[in-house]
């Protein structure tokens, strides 16, 4: 069965071939991606799945207090994500960006409280620097929780994390959940030198090209 977003059939096929880990974010399609994923996984044995989502960017009306990693936004965002995903908890809750306007200890304390409430099993980060990862890890350990993953962009064309992020993560036992491994399609061979991008490709989507 495929819904109007064209996703449900893909999730069904993914489970058929043994995929059990699903990574999303509250801001994807202004929260609709979580809604679609929740519907697609309805009825599945929750213990057999790993569901990851993220927090930072705004959703909904995108008003005041809808951006960042401060306590209020984190607490409200996880509740919205759990409702849309139709689950009591997520396996990994990820800070999608580093918040330079919120004290890191406030962010990690909020994450620790979510773990203690059972709304998240572990926490992760996305596109943080090596020092930010180190600081986040240290605070998490002090609070009795574990920072287990980092989600960087990584491909044959983009390897900036090799020099410092990877060594720090290896030393801390933090795994990588990379995105854009085919460089947003550049490594597929679909884009040819001197030719216009194929119709309907990511390069022709102005919004997608900026992300």
28 included as an active-site residue: yes
CA distance 202 to 207: 9
Smallest CA-to-CA distance from 122 within 132, 134, 137 is with 137
Annotated catalytic residue, options 28, 70, 89, 191: 28
Q: Which residues touch 181 (CB under 8 Å, ≥6 apart)?
A: 154, 155
CA distance 66 to 78: 13
Contact 60, 106 (CB under 8 A): no
Residue 207's Cβ-count burial label (10 Å; 0-12, 13-18, 19+) is: exposed
> Which residues are catalytic, by number?
28
């Amino acid at each position: 069965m495929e819904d109007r977003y064209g996703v449900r059939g893909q999730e069904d096929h993914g489970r058929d071939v043994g995929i059990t880990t699903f990574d999303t974010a509250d801001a994807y399609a202004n929260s609709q991606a979580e809604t679609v994923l929740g519907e697609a996984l309805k009825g599945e044995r929750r213990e057999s799945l790993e569901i990851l989502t993220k927090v930072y960017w705004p959703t909904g009306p995108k008003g005041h207090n809808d951006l960042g990693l401060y306590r209020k936004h984190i607490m409200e965002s996880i509740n919205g994500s759990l409702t849309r995903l139709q689950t009591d908890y997520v396996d990994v809750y990820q800070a999608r960006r580093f918040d330079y306007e919120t004290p890191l200890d406030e962010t990690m304390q909020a994450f620790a409280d979510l773990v203690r409430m059972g709304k998240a099993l572990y926490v992760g980060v996305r596109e943080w620097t090596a020092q930010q990862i180190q600081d986040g890890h240290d605070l998490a350990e002090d609070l009795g929780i574990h920072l287990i993953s980092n989600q960087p962009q990584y491909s044959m064309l983009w390897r900036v994390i090799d020099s410092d992020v990877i060594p720090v993560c290896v030393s801390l036992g933090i795994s990588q959940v990379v995105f854009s491994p085919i460089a947003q399609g550049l490594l597929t061979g679909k884009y040819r030198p001197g030719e216009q991008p194929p119709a309907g490709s990511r390069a022709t989507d102005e919004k997608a090209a900026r992300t």
